[in-house]
Structure 1
Amino acid sequence: MRRRYMAVSGVMICGASVGVFQKIALGTDPFTCFVTGIANIFGSTYSTWYMILTGIMLVGVIALKRSYIGFATLINLFLTGFAADAAHAFLDFLLPDPTFGMRCLLMAGNILLMSFGASLYYVANLGVSAYDAVALMAAECYHLASFRVCRVTTDVFCVAVGFFLSADIGLGTVITAFFMGPVVQWFTEHFALPLLQGHLRRRRHQPVEA
């Protein structure tokens, strides 16, 4: 149960951070660029097209490598887009016209927030998102290249599509693509893993009731 709480919390935090990135308009992560660009074509919401595009990829992942799918995968599909739209709407109400300085502060805090959420989600280990699974399959199932190369390729593709479809691309995109990994690792080592391991240790030492 602890893993599920961590997975849900991590997905919701990551989704909300996407909404913050969209509000401050200083660039978003690569997949958000892609989804936002597609949504721009149809004049629809991010959450609608996040579910559609992730659902399409999910069908392919189920057909090719079902072991990547788990509880967190489904939570990611249904909650991320809604969390992003809700956070965006809340900031529109709270800060309708933030200054550039405020947007920079929000970006710095939001990178920490997204990294924290990602560490919870990864450590829970209850499945990966459909987007993560694409690069994993390319590397592990089809041996096209290393995972890093495959992930960079999918990220570059998403950013290129988002750029041509008027999605926000900027400093936030660069930071999330190249510098967020070490921050996620720090949260993983100093918070997410101790949270899970401490829980498991307590369960092992609980007395067995007669």
Structure 2
Amino acid sequence: MKKRIIMSVLGVMTGAVSVAVFKMAAFGVDPFQSFMSGISKLIPISFGTLYVIVNAVLLSFSLIFDRHYIGIATFINLFLLGYVTEYSYKFLQWLVPEPSMPLRVVFLIVGIVIICIGSSLYITADLGVSTYDAVALIMANKWKIGKFKFIRICTDVCCVVLGSLMFVAGGGKFKAIPTIAGIGTIITAFFMGPLIEFFSVHLARKLLDDKKTSSNQS
């Protein structure tokens, strides 16, 4: 249990920092954050507070269909991720006010890798997942609609489309869309599910050393 708690906390915090890294790259954030960026244009309140509100709404989905995915990590994600992202981004902006193109590419690569590693850690720890991750997991493991990696691609694409539409509707400039839904978003939308599964198999499950978790992530 101690190892699971550490993996859950580390996974969520890593995911929070990765969003800030994505923002520094300015090639588009991950799909859910693209969705959040669109909502933030329509509802002008702090990102941390808005993140709590949106995820509290998504939490009801898990409460109704499968409470198994609600746990320690869910509430850490719900109440801390938005604020950790907000302040991590401010710190990185202070550290590197104007990143060069090569550095932005590095930020993009690092962001993709650590968000997938973070997700694999807390999903494998099985102490709850983010309210957004729970949607695809419930569809895959509870409703048996298909494999997680393919369902995740579908939910990610929906987030990107909705986020972009809300961004423009909220007054965002069309030419600025690549900063929230750019090449980084496309990469994560189509490869984040498979990459999470890859890191779960080759890293997270080996760290946990618990064969029982394999059945939960199939």
Query: TM > 0.5 between the two?
Result: yes
1:175 aligns with 2:187: yes
Q: Is the 8 A contact 1:31 1:159 kept in 2?
A: yes
**How many angstroms apart in 2 are the aligned matches of 1:22 and 1:123?**
26
5 Å-filtered alignment, 1:64-75, equals 64-75=65-76
Q: Is the 8 A contact 1:22 1:88 kept in 2?
A: yes
| Pairwise CA distance, 1:155 | 1.8
* Match in the other structure for 2:25: 24
Question: Given the superposition, is the C-alpha separation of residues 110 and 138 from structure 1 closer, same or farther in structure 2, using an over 3 Å criterion?
Answer: closer
**How many angstroms apart in 2 are the aligned matches of 1:140 and 1:105?**
35
**How many angstroms apart in 1 are the aligned matches of 2:12 and 2:56?**
16
Percentage identity across paired residues of the two chains: 41
User: Which runs of 5 or more structure 2 residues have no equivalent in the other structure?
Assistant: 168-176, 211-218
**How many angstroms apart in 2 are the aligned matches of 1:195 and 1:139?**
24
**How many angstroms apart in 2 are the aligned matches of 1:183 and 1:149?**
12
Compare 47-56 and 185-194 and name the one that shifted more. Answer: 185-194
Compare 24-33 and 133-142 and name the one that shifted more. Answer: 133-142
Q: Is the 8 A contact 1:15 1:83 kept in 2?
A: yes
Q: Is the 8 A contact 1:31 1:158 kept in 2?
A: yes
* Match in the other structure for 1:12: 13
Normalising by structure 1, we get a TM-score of 0.83
Normalising by structure 2, we get a TM-score of 0.80
Query: What amino acid sits opposite 1:91 in the alignment?
Result: L
Over aligned residues, Cα RMSD in angstroms?
2.3
**How many angstroms apart in 2 are the aligned matches of 1:52 and 1:129?**
13
**How many angstroms apart in 1 are the aligned matches of 2:57 and 2:95?**
35
Question: Given the superposition, is the C-alpha separation of residues 189 and 61 from structure 1 closer, same or farther in structure 2, using an over 3 Å criterion?
Answer: closer
Query: What amino acid sits opposite 2:135 in the alignment?
Result: V
Query: What amino acid sits opposite 1:163 in the alignment?
Result: S
Counterpart secondary structure, 1:179:
helix
> 1:35-93: per-residue Cα shift (whole Å, max 9, x none)?
11101222223222111111011023213322221121111111211121121111110
| Pairwise CA distance, 1:125 | 1.3
**How many angstroms apart in 2 are the aligned matches of 1:144 and 1:184?**
19
| Pairwise CA distance, 1:18 | 0.7
| Pairwise CA distance, 1:179 | 2.5
Question: Given the superposition, is the C-alpha separation of residues 10 and 143 from structure 1 closer, same or farther in structure 2, using an over 3 Å criterion?
Answer: closer
Q: Is the 8 A contact 2:48 2:82 kept in 1?
A: yes
**How many angstroms apart in 2 are the aligned matches of 1:136 and 1:190?**
19
| Pairwise CA distance, 1:145 | 5.8
Q: Is the 8 A contact 1:17 1:87 kept in 2?
A: no
* Match in the other structure for 1:197: 209
**How many angstroms apart in 2 are the aligned matches of 1:117 and 1:38?**
24
1:43 aligns with 2:55: no
| Pairwise CA distance, 1:3 | 0.4
> 1:4-48: per-residue Cα shift (whole Å, max 9, x none)?
011001000001101111222101111111111101222223222
